[in-house]
Structure 1
Amino acid sequence: MIDNASIESLKNSIDIVDVIGSYIELRKAGANYKANCPFHGEKTPSFVVSPSKQIYHCFGCGVGGDSIKFVMELEKLSYPEAIEKLASMHNFSLTYTKGSSDYSDAKRVLEAVGQWYVKNLNHNETAMKYLLDRGISQNSIETFEIGYVPSGGEVIQFLQRALLPLPKAAEAGIIAQNENGNGYYARLVERITFPIYSTSGSLVGFGGRTISNHPAKYINSPQTKLFNKSRLLYGYHLAKESIYKNKKIIVCEGYLDVVMFHQAGFKEAVAGMGTALTPEHLPLLRKGDPKVILAYDGDKAGVAAALKSAQMLSVAGFDGGVVLFPDGQDPADLIAKGQSETVAKLLRNAKPLIPFVLEMIVSMYNLNDPRAKEAAFGAVKQYLDTLSQIIKDAYIPMAATLVGIAPSLFGKETNVARARESFTQKRDDVAHLSILKTLIENPNLIDNVLSVMDIEMFGTYAELFTALINGESEHPGLVGLSVDDSLEVMNEEELNSVLRNFLIKHYDLKLKSIASSQQIPFEKKSFLIRKIRTDIIPRLKKGELVAFEAGI
């Protein structure tokens, strides 16, 4: 059982605003804080948290209580489980009248394993060489407690040697039980390890970076009682002092980026456990009311993550900006090359969140096509409508300029769904964008397309196709296509099928055009009609891709 005096000490050491604020977004309202109630659906905040009384109450559904009651209700935990959860969240050591708890056992396992990982790094030349080659200093290795995990067998042996129960190690996410239930295997094997801490500095899990060419470059601990990656940011426990002091937080993509940012003096840097942020990160990002700078790689994954995160942050009312690192480089690369001042300049010139989102949305559409322009307008208006009225009105002129329409149109009632549906039907009919999206993902298929299609056959998308074959990966239209989730990437067989259907339509139209033309001599007209009708189209319908011939 948990000692009662220990429970009272825990209650006196925690702040209900911090506890509830780690689960939901709280907004200051006079002496109190308000939020939409997490226990019932509502649009107008009626959930109030009182820091002076250390209680919460919802005037909508009537729930209320202290920090422990909140965690019990939200996480569906018993009273002792909620106390242990709170103690773990705030790095508080409970005392027990008898035995221990799952939380304290898991914490003991994590700390012992973490120390072992650190010791292992000094004995693995490959892992140490990788870190040093990436520009990471010995001081950074020690500050971030970077380690190394060897083979799975060695992990099990260590746990047994250290008298750490295997079931407890499984609960902590270090090992997992085999599918047949017979024995255990290590979750991280032959990887550089990065310990992950809670905001209060309690070890909760690990991230691992392969050095053995494993297809999964990075792996995180699984979700446990201690570890929930959707509510954590790597490096936050080290960065929070600078975040609060400088009113700025830099969100980057990976562990190494965070380490190198800190090493170069940008100590506000943190990273998510996946590429993009999630709504569950918002309460943590809100702490200290900092400006949020998204610092992502300029590749398609980074651009997609930046767009998703920027849209979410701007809708939630955050101030901040976006930096996409150029030429396929990431922040860690630039800092390792001694270009910290370049990084500082990029951060200072971050593109504000809302303009970034607007430009990215518009770049997904070919504005020379009236239907695409209508769809772009619909998509932009749909985004602007999620912002507050004052912010929306401030950005309507910019949005109108980007789309190339009158600002007054944004004030009119518009059927956004119909505009986007109209464009989708157009896209499905011509298949151009699906082909282009596939070629962006699989450039080795470009020759397949060039062998059967001429650039001009892409019509209004000829410019995009030209940019693609010229390797202009940063062309706004191509970047927009790469992050457009409504377009699927096809495999080679699917691409060939789409090409055949497209070519059949193309040559059907070509037949009509040739037959009605007054400019083509009779003999050539007869030859072309016969060639298309009796040779090209039948072969296409039989499943063959017919090589493109100039003049047809």
Structure 2
Amino acid sequence: MIPQETIAHIIEEADLAEIIGDYIPLQKKGQNYWALCPFHDDKSPSFSVNSEKRIYKCFSCGVQGNIIDFVKNYTHSEFLTALEIISTKIDFPIPELKNRVVNSKYSSEEEKLFSLNEKALQFYQVVLASQEGLAAQEYLTKRGFNQEEMMYWEIGWASSKISFYKTMLSQNEDLELLRSAGLVTLKDGQVFDYFVNRLVFPIKNQDGKILGFSGRTINEQTPKYLNTRETKLFKKSQLAFNLDMALPSITISKKILVLEGFMDVMSLHQIGVKNAIALMGTNLSEFHLQLFKKLKVEVLLFLDGDLPGVKASLTSAKKLLNYHLPVQIIDNETKLDPDDLVHQGQSETLWTMLNNPQIPLFYAIEKIPQLVNLQKPELFREYLNRVFDFLLLVTEPVLKAQGLQKLSQKTNLTTSVLGESYEKFRNNLSGQELPRPPVVTITTTKRKPKTFDKQPDAYDYSQRDILQSLISSPRHLEKIARHLGGAPNPDLYIVLQELINGYQNGTYHANNWEELMAILQLSNFDYQNPFWQLEPHLQANWHVRSNLDSAILTLQEHHLIAKEKLYAQQIRETDVVEVQKKFLKVKEEIHQEIIDLRKKRQ
């Protein structure tokens, strides 16, 4: 148990600005020091450090505390570890921690392998710095690596003329341990170095311990890359190159950039990107998903721009969304990997791509046509299904609506038709007939006012009541927002959502026709139809046929009736008795909801 007096003394003696300055850059302004907050995505310095009061505070996200709180949170350490770090920095030993035993998360065998890997790295680095490493150094220099960067990345060289195995043998290292680490290989009873005539890059875990290595040729030798084989430490599904070095930047930005290869990470580091990791050519695994969840970050996928890269981006994005992780995709339209782009002098192009990520739904709408032929009806249906897969994972109504709009532009189908198809898909109805590609093309000419091809019904009048109510006043905004899902007209749904957003962010004000027209003209909604009465001189004729609660209940009823019809259709189309029973039960439950709603309206 550490006495409170000791803890108080450490807080008193520690120079807050000096220690925090070891972790993040500080700038003095007046009596305080300021920095970008390391605990949220800060755009301008809002993190204040007051050495006199011995406290820090972010005036943006609200995080605050003393030196122990900072070290604990920044290094993701427990209290005693943070206390020990600070006591060491201020040279104030804590007797109670002198014999503290911290249980290692690694077994004794793993610690031996880590130690051997460190020894191997030192060997490869010495060889790179020697006469035998001159050609490798020249290659690295041409690739843009100076001596400082070679040291930063701890790059080594495995030479055919200086045997790693024989050197280790002379130092009495155990052959079986060398094999377990994947550093040597056996062939015809003889032992050979695993890495030969290759640049060697250490692959570390989050704690900075070496799991294994990746070797890269500097000539036409194949394969170009050779990784440590699967070992007790080196598991291909659990690799995240540069995680240990990128953690501070990831913590500050709250974003992690996911690349394919470690050379991509190194090249982006040269142009100032510090929050990148590489999957080392593997797919996202449970390890990565758990890691991102723990870090509480947004994932930015930046994979290659070729077809395999597009497929990998879509697959990875879906995994992340299913894991409830925020994700965006960097659209690499160059067909080159980031490493090539940097060395071809296209850093500006890279930054443009990095600053314009897309949500997976929008990316899928644009990229899936590269994978399927939309001219074939059966593949067109597959395209819609694959896009709908992503639409299901979008929780924000506005993004769903925008997605349907983009899909409409891509397919020349109306948002209404797409909305109906999506509903069928969402209800998991097998055998539904999705729309075929339209033969006609959409023109950009101004739409002419038209009338309904049927007599307006209660649903139409209810939608009009809600629209007119929202145009006139934000009084019922929250109530309308809660029940938007019942609107049967997808185009109107988008307009209603934009009005709600406008009220909330100040871009729309009640009865402002100029602001209203700006919203309507950007939509596909047929606002010129006389039924909607969307003309300033007609506003005097507006009157609510029923109260707003009744209008909302009417739309909810419409939504439930549509669902009931879909289940009735499914019952007719299946011959499997158990399935019929299942869907009949759901249909009956929906019907009861309809009855209950009608009672509320009476």
Q: TM-score range by the shorter chain?
A: 0.5 to 0.7
Alignment CA distance shift 1:253-1:137 (3 Å) = farther
2:106 to 62, 81, 87: 87
Alignment of 1:294 onto 2:301: yes
- Decide whether the 8 Å contact of 1:250 with 1:294 is kept in 2: yes
1:69-80 to 2 correspondence within 5 Å?
none
- Decide whether the 8 Å contact of 2:365 with 2:407 is kept in 1: yes
Residue 270 of structure 2 corresponds to which residue in structure 1? 263
- Decide whether the 8 Å contact of 2:361 with 2:390 is kept in 1: no
Cα distance, 1:195 vs. partner?
0.2
- Decide whether the 8 Å contact of 2:136 with 2:218 is kept in 1: yes
Output the CA distance in 2 between the equivalents of 1:417 and 1:137: 60
1:295-334 to 2 correspondence within 5 Å?
295-334=302-341
Counterpart residue type for residue 134 of structure 1: R
1:195 to 199, 202, 225: 202
Output the CA distance in 1 between the equivalents of 2:173 and 2:435: 62
Residue 410 of structure 2 corresponds to which residue in structure 1? 402
2:144 to 99, 124, 135: 135
Residue 356 of structure 2 corresponds to which residue in structure 1? 349
Alignment of 1:411 onto 2:430: no
- Decide whether the 8 Å contact of 2:330 with 2:353 is kept in 1: yes
- Decide whether the 8 Å contact of 1:210 with 1:217 is kept in 2: yes
- Could you list the per-position Cα deviations for residues 282-333 of structure 1 after superposition, in whole angstroms to 9, with x for gaps in the alignment? 1122343222222223233333322322232233233232224444433223
Output the CA distance in 2 between the equivalents of 1:392 and 1:326: 23
- Decide whether the 8 Å contact of 1:196 with 1:206 is kept in 2: yes
Cα distance, 1:390 vs. partner?
5.7
Output the CA distance in 1 between the equivalents of 2:390 and 2:433: 13
Cα distance, 1:135 vs. partner?
1.2
Alignment CA distance shift 1:102-1:310 (3 Å) = same
Counterpart residue type for residue 412 of structure 1: K
Cα distance, 1:264 vs. partner?
1.8
Residue 228 of structure 1 corresponds to which residue in structure 2? 235
1:162 to 168, 171, 178: 171
Alignment CA distance shift 1:326-1:211 (3 Å) = same
1:337-486 to 2 correspondence within 5 Å?
337-385=344-392, 393-394=400-401, 395-405=403-413, 406=417, 407-412=419-424
Cα distance, 1:242 vs. partner?
0.3
Residue 151 of structure 1 corresponds to which residue in structure 2? 160
- Could you list the per-position Cα deviations for residues 218-276 of structure 1 after superposition, in whole angstroms to 9, with x for gaps in the alignment? 12112222222312210110001100111111111212111121222111011012154
Cα distance, 1:175 vs. partner?
1.5
Cα distance, 1:131 vs. partner?
1.4
Alignment of 1:273 onto 2:280: yes
Alignment CA distance shift 1:103-1:140 (3 Å) = same
Where relative contact order (Cα < 8 A, 6+ residues apart) is larger, the structure is: 1
Residue 45 of structure 1 corresponds to which residue in structure 2? none
Cα distance, 1:386 vs. partner?
5.2
Residue 248 of structure 1 corresponds to which residue in structure 2? 255
Cα distance, 1:358 vs. partner?
3.1
- Decide whether the 8 Å contact of 2:303 with 2:310 is kept in 1: yes
- Could you list the per-position Cα deviations for residues 74-107 of structure 1 after superposition, in whole angstroms to 9, with x for gaps in the alignment? xxxxxxxxx66x136xxxxxxxxxxxx3223212
Output the CA distance in 2 between the equivalents of 1:387 and 1:274: 28
- Decide whether the 8 Å contact of 1:362 with 1:402 is kept in 2: no
Alignment of 1:215 onto 2:215: no
- Decide whether the 8 Å contact of 2:123 with 2:164 is kept in 1: no
Cα distance, 1:183 vs. partner?
3.5
Residue 124 of structure 2 corresponds to which residue in structure 1? 117
Task: Normalising by structure 1, report the TM-score.
Answer: 0.54
Q: What secondary structure, in the 3-state scheme, does the structure 2 residue paired with 1:245 have?
A: helix
- Decide whether the 8 Å contact of 1:107 with 1:204 is kept in 2: yes
Counterpart residue type for residue 402 of structure 1: K
- Could you list the per-position Cα deviations for residues 13-52 of structure 1 after superposition, in whole angstroms to 9, with x for gaps in the alignment? xxxxxxxxxxxxxxxxxxxxxxxxxxxxxxxxxxxxxx99
Counterpart residue type for residue 174 of structure 2: P
- Decide whether the 8 Å contact of 1:297 with 1:325 is kept in 2: yes
Counterpart residue type for residue 116 of structure 2: V
Cα distance, 1:409 vs. partner?
1.7
Q: What secondary structure, in the 3-state scheme, does the structure 1 residue paired with 2:179 have?
A: helix
Q: What secondary structure, in the 3-state scheme, does the structure 1 residue paired with 2:330 have?
A: strand
Alignment CA distance shift 1:399-1:315 (3 Å) = farther
Alignment CA distance shift 1:198-1:408 (3 Å) = same
Counterpart residue type for residue 410 of structure 2: L
- Decide whether the 8 Å contact of 1:382 with 1:416 is kept in 2: no
Alignment CA distance shift 1:263-1:187 (3 Å) = same
What residue ranges of structure 1 are gaps of 5+ in the alignment?
1-50, 54-82, 89-100, 424-552
Work out the percentage of aligned pairs sharing the same amino acid.
30
Over the aligned positions, Cα root-mean-square deviation in angstroms equals: 3.3
Q: What secondary structure, in the 3-state scheme, does the structure 2 residue paired with 1:351 have?
A: coil
Deviant stretches of 4+, over 4 Å = 386-394, 413-423
Output the CA distance in 1 between the equivalents of 2:251 and 2:160: 41
Q: What secondary structure, in the 3-state scheme, does the structure 2 residue paired with 1:292 have?
A: strand
Q: What secondary structure, in the 3-state scheme, does the structure 1 residue paired with 2:303 have?
A: strand
Q: What secondary structure, in the 3-state scheme, does the structure 2 residue paired with 1:196 have?
A: strand
Alignment CA distance shift 1:396-1:205 (3 Å) = same
Alignment CA distance shift 1:153-1:177 (3 Å) = farther
Q: What secondary structure, in the 3-state scheme, does the structure 1 residue paired with 2:214 have?
A: strand
Q: What secondary structure, in the 3-state scheme, does the structure 2 residue paired with 1:350 have?
A: coil
Output the CA distance in 1 between the equivalents of 2:398 and 2:115: 49
Output the CA distance in 1 between the equivalents of 2:433 and 2:396: 23
- Decide whether the 8 Å contact of 2:256 with 2:275 is kept in 1: yes
- Decide whether the 8 Å contact of 1:311 with 1:354 is kept in 2: no
Counterpart residue type for residue 356 of structure 2: N
Cα distance, 1:416 vs. partner?
7.5
Q: What secondary structure, in the 3-state scheme, does the structure 2 residue paired with 1:297 have?
A: coil
Q: What secondary structure, in the 3-state scheme, does the structure 2 residue paired with 1:303 have?
A: helix
Counterpart residue type for residue 142 of structure 2: D
Counterpart residue type for residue 410 of structure 1: Y
Count of aligned pairs between the two proteins: 331
Output the CA distance in 2 between the equivalents of 1:140 and 1:236: 17
Residue 438 of structure 1 corresponds to which residue in structure 2? none
Cα distance, 1:389 vs. partner?
8.2
Alignment CA distance shift 1:319-1:345 (3 Å) = same
Alignment CA distance shift 1:371-1:199 (3 Å) = same
The higher radius of gyration belongs to 2
Cα distance, 1:338 vs. partner?
4.5
- Decide whether the 8 Å contact of 1:118 with 1:146 is kept in 2: yes
Alignment CA distance shift 1:416-1:340 (3 Å) = farther
Alignment CA distance shift 1:298-1:214 (3 Å) = same
Alignment of 1:175 onto 2:187: no
Counterpart residue type for residue 216 of structure 2: R
Output the CA distance in 2 between the equivalents of 1:381 and 1:327: 27
- Decide whether the 8 Å contact of 2:307 with 2:371 is kept in 1: no
Residue 104 of structure 1 corresponds to which residue in structure 2? 111
- Decide whether the 8 Å contact of 1:230 with 1:273 is kept in 2: no
Output the CA distance in 1 between the equivalents of 2:344 and 2:291: 32
Counterpart residue type for residue 87 of structure 1: Y
Task: Normalising by structure 2, report the TM-score.
Answer: 0.50
Residue 22 of structure 2 corresponds to which residue in structure 1? none
